[in-house]
Amino acid sequence: MSTKKKRRGRPSKYPPEFRGDAVAMVLDGDQESIADVARSLGVNEGTLGNWVRLERIERGERDGMTVDERGELVELRSEVAKLRMERDLLKRSLAFWVKETSTP
């Protein structure tokens, strides 16, 4: 499991190493089910299922956005917002300049 991910919100109560080992038990283990592994580790089955789903996306075994792609999307959205703000400022500046230069 990738450890490059920066999380927002509350910190996870499970360290990344634990999550990675739990996912490996499901994906790389002896065909144990998510429910069996979750029960043996004392983790909620839904939580482990989410970790497994995310890891399958990272490995390319399932469609979805990887951690890197999600990070890039956040950066691009931020850049688009900044560029829109700059564009709107330039539009207002140009309109003001045209108004000032055309008034006798």
Q: What is the CATH number of the domain that holds 44?
A: 1.10.10
Q: Which residue has the higher pLDDT, 104 or 73?
A: 73
The residue type of 20 is: G
Q: Is the pLDDT of residue 66 over 60?
A: yes
Question: Would you say residue 91 lies in a domain?
Answer: yes
Q: Which domain holds residue 98?
A: 66-104
45-59 vs 34-41: helix axis angle to the nearest 10? 120
Question: Would you say residue 41 lies in a domain?
Answer: yes
Do 73 and 39 reside in the same domain of the chain?
no
Q: Which of 64, 79, 95 is the last residue of a domain?
A: 64
Question: Would you say residue 37 lies in a domain?
Answer: yes
Banded model confidence at residue 3, pLDDT cuts 50, 70, 90 = very low
Do 73 and 45 reside in the same domain of the chain?
no
Do 60 and 71 reside in the same domain of the chain?
no
Domain count across the chain: 2
Q: Average pLDDT, whole number, for the chain?
A: 87
Do 71 and 104 reside in the same domain of the chain?
yes
**Longest Cα pair distance anywhere in the chain, in angstroms?**
85
pLDDT in tens, 16-51: 999 999 999 999 877 689 999 999 999 999 999 999
pLDDT for 52 equals 94
